[in-house]
Amino acid sequence: MYIYNIMTKKVVRAKVVKPKVKHVIQDIVIENEEVKITISSKVVKIRINPQHIDEFKDKIKEIHEDDYHIIKVSEFKENRISEEFKDWKYEYKNDTTAYFHYPLYEFSINQNTNKILSEIFQKKHITSQSLWYEKEELKNNLNPDIDDTKGTHQNRFTIYVITKGRWETNYTIKSLEKLGIKNYKVVIETQEVDKYIESGVDKEKIIPFEKEDKENKSGIPVRNFVWNYSIKQGEDYHWILDDNIENFYRWNRNKRTIVKSGFVFTHIEEYTMKKNNVMMSGMNYHFYNPDIDYGRDLITKNTRIYSCILIKNDIPKLEEKWRGKYNEDTDLSIRILKHGYGTLLFNNYLCGKKQSGTVKGGNKELYKDYSQEGYKTKTLSLIAQHPEIVKFKKLKDHPYHHQVDYTPFENNPLNL
């Protein structure tokens, strides 16, 4: 970084001491034409239960104005549903605040502020970048209009769980059983069927899959098998789920609540069927929608759908179903959008997907145990498929990840 030194009238290099967490500039010192910028005031986000706003403001007054700076105060969002999705009625027949966000304060603080905040929050040290200010634990946020009793909501279209090498965990299967879901199948390569049965998977739920190309380590063959199988069953849509999903959630009032029944599937089915140009929909990941999140709409339209996917079986313009070897869900999402169709990513209903590479089995062999080389290969593959909208994005964990520009599709209609 370079800045202009008004004392010497020269452009000099600025040496920045930057910790891992987000901070703000606290001090600038010029020594021998070298600028040292001290970045030591931490930025802390504080989410506040509305009923405690005045109380919180009174306590903040105890902090000297020189010791902190309020960067931003968000307003209370009673209903974060855009006009386009006002026809979403499943959660709030008698509740007009079905999906909203609590106010958020952003502070830059120093040691003095840290001490007082520690007293307010009854913690020895404020080490987190995000905090809650509330007197009591938020109650279950499910609307009374939803009967969240196990087994009360049954999906119309079959849920197909594709799994490989994960009979020791069976995360998705167990999660569906906890909801009382009956209409699901588990698709397993023939050589692993016995191991899954021994692990407790219901034999009647299993569909054996014989992979013709033994050298193909990708999930493409089994995904196309499921799609064709569903068509043969006379279904208009099918669900396809990864095998590393632990729990399903409803997000509301800045809290993710684990659900106990299958309404998260039935509501998405019914709403998707209302949109005749939507060919693909699904749940967002729970780690993409943290409790501290602010400003996200009920649904994100015309973007990628991962891991927990509802697909329309007849997509007229789509020449190929699943294809390639890597990033198959991203590739399918992009191709559907390129044909002018719509997709719906639900932010109020979430799946508890495990982080890639953290569960034994699956695609670890294909992606070389999720090494940098493996990530680079899969990203280059997606860039080759869609060079005009895909590029490399560097993450803190590894330098090779894909970034997709979905803005060309933002106006794809949901209904025709």
Judge whether 403 lies within some domain.
yes
Q: Are residues 196 and 334 in the same domain?
A: yes
Reported as a single tens digit per residue, the pLDDT across 65-101 is 665 666 667 766 666 678 888 888 776 655 555 566 7
What's the pLDDT score for residue 308?
A: 98
pLDDT exceeds 60 at position 18: no
What's the pLDDT score for residue 408?
A: 97
pLDDT exceeds 50 at position 16: no
**Domain end call among 133, 151, 181:** 133
Q: Are residues 125 and 182 in the same domain?
A: no
Q: Are residues 371 and 305 in the same domain?
A: yes
Q: Are residues 105 and 178 in the same domain?
A: no
Q: Are residues 125 and 203 in the same domain?
A: no
For residue 250, the enclosing domain spans 159-409
Q: Are residues 385 and 291 in the same domain?
A: yes
Which token pair is 141?
């946020």
What's the pLDDT score for residue 179?
A: 97
Q: Are residues 214 and 335 in the same domain?
A: yes
Q: Are residues 290 and 163 in the same domain?
A: yes
What is the DSSP pairing of strand 184-189 with strand 159-163?
Answer: parallel
Dist. CA 51–CA 133, nearest whole Å: 10
Q: Are residues 47 and 172 in the same domain?
A: no
Q: Are residues 196 and 82 in the same domain?
A: no
Judge whether 153 lies within some domain.
no
**Domain end call among 133, 167, 190:** 133
233 in Cβ contact with 158 (< 8 Å)? yes
Q: Are residues 129 and 163 in the same domain?
A: no
- When divided into structural domains, the chain yields a total of 2
Q: Are residues 257 and 388 in the same domain?
A: yes
pLDDT exceeds 90 at position 335: yes
Dist. CA 90–CA 308, nearest whole Å: 20
Judge whether 344 lies within some domain.
yes
Judge whether 147 lies within some domain.
no
